[in-house]
Structure 1
Amino acid sequence: MGVIKRTWVSITKRKGKSLILLLVVFVIANVIAGAVSVNNASEQLNNVMKGQLGAKARIEQDLSKMGTAVFKPVTAEVAETVAKLTQVKSVDYSIEVGMGSDKVKSYSVDKDYDPDDDEFAFARFSFKGSNSSKPSDFAAGTAQLLEGVMPSTERGSKEIIITKTLAEKNKLKVGDTATFYLGNAVNDVKNRRFDVKEKIPYEFKIVGIYNKASTSSGPDAEYSKEIDANTIYTNLGIATEIDALKANFDYAHDTQRTNETLEQYLSSVTPTYELKSSDDIDSFIAEASKLIDTNGYKITSSKDSFKSVSGSIASMKEISNLILIFGTGAAILILTLVLVLFLRERKHEFGIYQALGEAKVKTTVQVALEVLIIAMLGISLSIYSGNKLAEGLSKQMITTQLATKPEETSNIPGFVPMEEAPLSTVDEAEIAKNFEVSIDSNYIIGLYSLVLGASMVSILISAGYILSLNPREILL
């Protein structure tokens, strides 16, 4: 009788022991299947989150270093220099300068607001000149153009778009002209106020009206609404021109910052870079950091947003890896014990085979085939059940991990930094939605490899018992 036929007869004849071994493998396979499912789902979630958060980086002021050092601003020229790095796909930035108006009324949350009583009325309106035909707020969808077109990108163009709030308050429409002024003021330290020394008028043509959705909440929501309502978009060229005039005036009249250069009076920009790949983030940060003054600026990236969720994902992967390690070790130990017990009951059978001249290796192959056939059946039965088990446990795990995620706090007591909004955001609902435990090729291959691998190790250990058998001692 051949080894294969003898293997099949042995399995079917010893139904009780075969069923016990099948049950042991089934239980072990379910545990390992659950861990493999969670591991694969965590890895998949990791990749999905990276893709959704994108590959972005931004140069912004490091508020933790404010007041500690004098630093060079990130000007438009610096932003363009950084944009030439090989990792950069595109760059978006704007120059922001304050302007006033004697004719256009600003929006205020204070119903009793009087510009004559406001010493900062000369900079009540925030003019933004973007290097892009579609500034970041519009690209992100937080601002929408309701009427007209975006300002021309041609240098020297004096076109603007204003908010619907300003348009309604001043009865302005697309096609109208509006006059604003650059108010050059000096700080009167003695009287604790700013005195406007000159007003440089600029007449702009309104080419569009837009609306911006509020992105702030809490006590600063109304203040943010006021700032948004008084924000006006214009051409980068004209914004740069106005900013240069202001810088020259301040440089000539400032009696306090005597050790600074003209460049340090220019407005700093906050450029956002779209990178070619998320894999380029680290190398971009390393190279861009050499081109900016890191005494006052830092580089944030979409990778920072990913870190807020990666801890939960890493924790689940760590738990699943521990289950895999201990589960595989337990599988080897349990299967080895079960096999040795079963083989001891069959020592007379093996003694007869060897007395008839059969090689011990052939007997070992038969035992290996018996175990592997039963193991294959046990694994196949556990594919679905193990996956369903993992699905229930993993949902509970991810809910627990997100619920216990620590809140970020400032290291400085009582200090709440007003930093830029994160480049990308992701919430708990989105993480839970993308965490899918499924049956795929990686899951099946991983499950079969681990359980069959554990079975083979158990067989090899148990084979030592067969090889140690002496037919004379058994049969006498």
Structure 2
Amino acid sequence: MNFLKRALLSTVRKKGKSIILLVVIFILGNLMAGSIAVKQATTNVEETIKNKLGAEARVDYDWNNIGEDDDIPQLDQETVDKIGKLEGVKYYEYNLYTWLNSKEYESYCGPDCTMGGMGEGADFEFYGVQIPSIVDISENKIALSEGRVFKQNEIDEGKPVALVSTLFAEMNNLHVGDTLSFSMNVYSWEDVDDMGYPKVVSTKDYTFELIGIFDASLSVKEETDDNMGMVDYSMTQRIYVPNNVITSINDWSYEENKKFNDFGEEYENFTEIIPTYYLKDASQLDSFREASADLLPKGFTMSISSDAYDSVAGPISFISWLATGILYISIGATILILGLVVILFLRDRRHEFGIYLSIGVKKWKIVAQVVIEVLVVGIIALTLSLFSGKELANGVSQKMIEQQVINNDNGMIYYATGPGGGGSGYVDQNEVLDTYEVTLDADYIVMLYLIGLGTLLISSIAPTVYVVRLKPRKVLM
């Protein structure tokens, strides 16, 4: 009779010991299965949310490394281009901006809310772009609904052409081909009115051809109790123009301000270049940040879109940390407890093993028999714990998450590293928690069997040293 057949017969005949072993492994297996299931669920949440946040990296000021007496650092075009050549970059963009005034148009700020069209008018954000196709369209933050995007010569030459949102166009009865009229006002802080407001001392009118209308609804979330009505409508008010248009407007404003205001010798025509890099894959964000750190001058740092996840993932991170700890503890407990149980069973079988040795059975075959007996029972117990461990993990983790949310003061977090802070990088804590789900998927099953069987092998092999040290004559005397 070979050792495999002996192992199977021993498992069947010694039902009491097999059941005890099954129960022990099942209980410990539930701990491993539950912690693995939770770990897989939290990993899936992280991947899903980070993919939703996109693969964007934005250069920001590092105020911790800028002293009070230091000048505000500037980023030159050469550095911007060098970082843009790093591995994984799909394309990059930087955006200049300014504000122009209009007494003709109303500004959309939400349902039943409008601003402008009376008195001094309203100010509108003019947002410069360098890439003709408009990155916000490529990144699905807005969608072109009418007209066209920019042409390369319009970008290069700073042509007065613009795109506005559908809400802005509808509110002001605008269509593709219309002419938009705005003005830049310069105020004198030396000459104020009776209310203390500075007077307008210089004005320049600007007209733009409306070449396109975009839908910004992709970047606007509905007002709900979850986000407490904190809805960002900035994308609906944005007006896209070439970067060079912004430069010429700001240059004129700078020269006029020097005429009417004494801002001191330190007043400079400062052009702020803050680039955003769009990567091919969100998994490359961390390595890209490390690589760009060597190229960025002092005073700058790189923030990545996945940073937003850490702001809202408190309950999930805690559960993930706890699951990892329980997994390590359960593995150690399984090896220790199961090892002791196997040793106790082996002591009762000393004469059996002594007979095997006396008739010439190799010690490795006896060891293999013990391992097989443990594995047969262990596989059955692990299979049962697949389902019960999942349900246990789901119930316990949901309760813990609910308690964490109650104790967490962060209701809704908005964060985006894309240009202007708009777009897909909108994440609230409830969205993160809704993504959390414990599932019986292939990764969970494979992981449980790999860890479980590995633990069983260690637990059963270690005590077999006891068998190897057996002396047939002493055992049978």
Q: CA deviation at 1:168?
A: 6.4
For residues 445 and 67 of structure 1, do their structure 2 counterparts lie closer, same or farther at Cα, with a shift above 3 Å needed? same
Matched, 1:273 2:277: yes
Pick closer, same or farther for the CA change 1:364–1:408 going to 2, 3 Å.
same
Helix, strand or coil at the partner of 1:124 = strand
Cα distance in 2, alignment partners of residues 450 and 275 from structure 1:
35
Q: In the alignment, is the contact (CA less than 8 A) between 1:89 and 1:274 conserved in 2?
A: yes
Q: Provide the residue aligned with 1:380 in structure 2.
A: 383
Distance 1:210 1:322, change over 3 A: closer
3-state SS, counterpart of residue 202 of structure 1: strand
**In the alignment, does 2:254 pair up with 1:247?**
yes
Change over 3 Å in CA distance of 1:144–1:335 after alignment to 2: closer
Shift in Å, 1:258: 0.8
* Farther-moved stretch of structure 1 (72-81 vs 377-386): 72-81
The equivalent position to 1:331 in structure 2, one of 334, 353, 373, is: 334
Cα deviation 1:414-437 (Å, max 9, x = unaligned): xxxxx9468723334443454343
- State which drifts further: 132-141 or 390-399: 132-141
How does 1:66-465 map onto structure 2 within 5 Å? 69-72=70-73, 83-101=84-102, 104-105=104-105, 107=107, 115=119, 118=120, 124-133=123-132, 135=134, 147-150=146-149, 154=154, 155-162=157-164, 172-188=174-190, 193-209=197-213, 212=216, 231-251=238-258, 254-262=261-269, 264=270, 266=271, 268-282=272-286, 284-285=288-289, 295=299, 298-309=301-312, 311-358=314-361, 360-405=363-408, 407=410, 420=421, 424-465=425-466
Counterparts of 2:374 and 2:206 in 1: how far apart (Å)?
A: 88
Indicate how the Cα distance of structure 1 residues 148 and 450 shifts in structure 2: closer, same or farther if over 3 A, else same.
Answer: closer
The 1:318/1:228 distance shift into structure 2, 3 A limit, reads closer
Q: 1:15 to 1:272 in 2, by over 3 A?
A: same
In the TM superposition, what whole-angstrom CA distance separates every residue of 1:212-239 from its partner, at most 9, and x where no partner exists? 55669899979x86x7776543333333
One-letter amino acid of the counterpart of residue 324, structure 2 = N
Q: Residue 293 of structure 2 contacts residue 302 of structure 2 at CA under 8 Å; is this kept in 1? A: yes
Aligned 8 A contact 2:106 2:115 in 1: no
Given that residues 93 and 271 in structure 1 are in contact (C-alpha distance below 8 angstroms), is that contact kept between their aligned partners in structure 2? Answer: yes
Q: Aligned residues, how many?
A: 455
Shift in Å, 1:440? 4.5
1:334 maps to a residue whose letter is I
The two structures, once aligned, show a CA RMSD in angstroms of: 4.3
State the structure with more CA Rg: 1
Distance 1:364-1:399 versus aligned 2 partners, 3 A rule:
same
1:327/1:357 CA distance change after superposition, 3 Å: same
Q: 1:184 to 1:426 in 2, by over 3 A?
A: closer
CA contact (8 A) 1:33 1:447 kept: yes
8 Å contact from structure 1 (residues 178, 204) kept in 2 = yes
Q: Is the 8 A contact 1:36 1:324 kept in 2?
A: yes
- Give % identity: 29
2:264 match: secondary structure: coil
Judge conservation of contact 1:336–1:462 (CA < 8 Å) in 2. Answer: yes
Shift of 1:242: 1.8
TM-score, with length taken from structure 1: 0.76
CA change 1:408–1:84 in 2 (3 A) is farther
The answer to whether the 8 A contact 2:106-2:116 is kept is no
Relative to structure 1, the CA distance from residue 208 to residue 428 in structure 2 (aligned partners, 3 Å threshold; closer, same or farther) is: same
Contact persistence 1:162–1:210 (CA under 8 A): yes
Instruction: Give me the whole-angstrom Cα distance separating, in 2, the residues matched to 1:405 and 1:195.
Output: 48
1:199 is matched by which residue type in structure 2?
T
Between the aligned partners of 1:200 and 1:167, the Cα distance in structure 2 is: 23
Contact 2:86 2:288 (C-alpha < 8 Å) held by counterparts:
yes
Read off the aligned partner of 2:266 and give its amino acid letter. N
Q: Check 1:186–1:144 CA distance in 2 against 1; reply closer, same or farther (3 A cut).
A: farther
Q: 1-side partners of 2:12 and 2:235: how far apart? A: 79
- The answer (yes or no) to whether the contact 2:124–2:238 under 8 Å persists in 1 is yes
Per the alignment, residue 414 of structure 1 pairs with none
1:390, CA displacement in angstroms?
A: 3.0
Quote the offset at 1:305 in angstroms.
Answer: 1.0
User: Where in structure 2 are there 5+ consecutive unaligned residues?
Assistant: 413-419
User: Helix, strand or coil for the counterpart of 1:259?
Assistant: coil
Q: CA deviation at 1:85?
A: 4.7
Whether the aligned pair in 1 keeps the contact of 2:29 and 2:382 (CA below 8 Å) is yes
What does residue 416 of structure 2 align with?
A: none
Does the 8 Å contact 2:90/2:279 carry over to 1? yes
User: 2:15 is matched with which residue?
Assistant: 15
CA contact (8 A) 1:35 1:324 kept: yes
Shift of 1:331: 1.8
Greater shift in the superposed pair: 309-318 or 332-341: 309-318
The AA in structure 2 aligned to 1:130 is V
Deviation at 1:194, TM superposition (A): 3.5
What's the offset of the Cα at 1:66?
11
Q: Which residue of 2 aligns with 1:413?
A: none
Aligned structure 1 segments of 4 or more residues deviating by more than 6 angstroms: 62-68, 75-78, 108-113, 215-222, 227-230, 290-293
Cα–Cα, structure 1 residues 326 and 73, in superposed 2: closer, same or farther, change >3 Å?
closer
Stretches of structure 1 lacking an aligned partner (at least 5 in a row): 410-418
Residue 274 of structure 1 deviates from its aligned partner by 0.8
